[in-house]
Structure 1
Amino acid sequence: MRAATLGGTGLRVTELAFGAAGIGNLYRPVTDEAAIAAVNAAWDAGIRTFDTAPHYGLGLSECRLGAALRGRPRDAYTVSTKVGRLLQPNPQGGRGDDLAHGFAVPDTHHRVWDFSADGVLRSLEASLDRLGLDRVDIALLHDPDDHAEQALTEAYPALERLRDEGVVKAIGIGTNQCALPARFLRETDIDVVLLAGRYTLLEQEALAEVLPEAAAGGRSLIIGGVFNSGLLTDPKPGATYDYAPAPRPVLDRALHLKSVTERHGVPLRTAALHFPFGHSAVASVLTGARSAGEVRDTVEQLRHPVPAAVWDELRAEGLLAPGTPTPMALRPKESP
Structure 2
Amino acid sequence: MSTLGKSGVEVSPLAFGAAAIGNLFTAVSDEQAYEAVDAAWSGGIRYFDTAPHYGIGLAERRLGAALRDRPRAEYTVSTKVGRLLEPTDGDAGGDDLDNGFAVPATHHRVWDFSADGVRRSLDASLERLGLDHVDAVYLHDPDDHAEQAFREAYPALEKLRAAGVLGAIGVGMNQTEMLTRFVSDTDVDVVLCAGRYTLLDHRALTELLPAAQDRGTSVVIGGAFNSGLLADPKPGATYNYAVAAPELLDRALRLKAIAERHGTTLRAAALAFPAAHPAVASVLVGARSPHEVRDCVEQFATAVPAAFWQELRAENLLPSDAPVPVQEPS
For the 8 Å contact 1:192–1:220, the answer to whether it is kept is yes
Residue identity in the other structure for 1:109: H
Written as runs of structure 1 = structure 2, the 5 A alignment for 1:143-292 is 143-292=141-290
- CA shift, 1:327, in A, is 1.1
Residue identity in the other structure for 1:314: L
Classify the secondary structure of the residue corresponding to 1:54: coil
Greater mean deviation of Cα atoms: 271-280 or 242-251:
242-251
TM-score normalised per structure 2: 0.98
For the 8 Å contact 1:305–1:330, the answer to whether it is kept is no
Residue identity in the other structure for 2:70: R
Alpha-carbon spacing, 1:93–1:128, altered in 2? closer, same or farther (3 Å): farther
Classify the secondary structure of the residue corresponding to 1:91: coil
Residue identity in the other structure for 2:139: L
- CA shift, 1:259, in A, is 1.4
- CA shift, 1:331, in A, is 9.9
Distance in 2, Cα, partners of 1:303 & 1:319: 23
Distance in 2, Cα, partners of 1:93 & 1:152: 37
Greater mean deviation of Cα atoms: 299-308 or 97-106:
299-308
Distance in 2, Cα, partners of 1:128 & 1:323: 42
- Give percent identity, aligned residues only: 65
Determine the structure 1 residue equivalent to 2:8. Answer: 10
Residue identity in the other structure for 2:62: R
Determine the structure 2 residue equivalent to 1:78. Answer: 76
For the 8 Å contact 1:92–1:108, the answer to whether it is kept is no
Distance in 2, Cα, partners of 1:179 & 1:303: 31
Determine the structure 2 residue equivalent to 1:42. Answer: 40
Distance in 2, Cα, partners of 1:187 & 1:96: 42
Distance in 2, Cα, partners of 1:18 & 1:272: 16
Classify the secondary structure of the residue corresponding to 2:284: strand
Greater mean deviation of Cα atoms: 245-254 or 104-113:
245-254
- CA shift, 1:97, in A, is 0.4
Classify the secondary structure of the residue corresponding to 1:190: coil
Residue identity in the other structure for 1:276: P
Distance in 1, Cα, partners of 2:91 & 2:133: 29
Classify the secondary structure of the residue corresponding to 1:136: coil
Pick the aligned partner of 1:305 from 287, 303, 306: 303
Q: Which runs of 5+ in 1 are unaligned?
A: none
Distance in 2, Cα, partners of 1:11 & 1:69: 18
Distance in 1, Cα, partners of 2:307 & 2:295: 24
Residue identity in the other structure for 1:78: T
Alpha-carbon spacing, 1:75–1:93, altered in 2? closer, same or farther (3 Å): farther
Residue deviations 1:101-129 (CA, integer Å, cap 9, x gap): 00000000000000000000000000000
Determine the structure 1 residue equivalent to 2:125. Answer: 127
Distance in 1, Cα, partners of 2:5 & 2:24: 30
Pick the aligned partner of 2:107 from 109, 114, 124: 109
- CA shift, 1:93, in A, is 4.7
- CA shift, 1:329, in A, is 2.4
TM-score normalised per structure 1: 0.96
- CA shift, 1:94, in A, is 3.1
Classify the secondary structure of the residue corresponding to 1:229: helix
Classify the secondary structure of the residue corresponding to 1:171: strand
Q: After the TM superposition, which segments of 4 or more aligned residues of structure 1 sit over 3 Å from their partners?
A: none
Residue identity in the other structure for 2:64: G
Classify the secondary structure of the residue corresponding to 2:32: helix
For the 8 Å contact 1:178–1:210, the answer to whether it is kept is yes
Distance in 1, Cα, partners of 2:200 & 2:283: 15
Pick the aligned partner of 1:89 from 65, 87, 90: 87
Residue identity in the other structure for 2:13: E
Residue deviations 1:75-100 (CA, integer Å, cap 9, x gap): 11000000000000001353110000
Determine the structure 2 residue equivalent to 1:138. Answer: 136
- Count residues with an aligned counterpart: 330
- CA shift, 1:317, in A, is 0.8
Residue identity in the other structure for 1:241: Y
Pick the aligned partner of 2:53 from 36, 47, 55: 55
Distance in 1, Cα, partners of 2:43 & 2:251: 33
- CA shift, 1:330, in A, is 4.3
For the 8 Å contact 1:307–1:330, the answer to whether it is kept is no
Alpha-carbon spacing, 1:255–1:294, altered in 2? closer, same or farther (3 Å): same
Residue identity in the other structure for 1:219: T
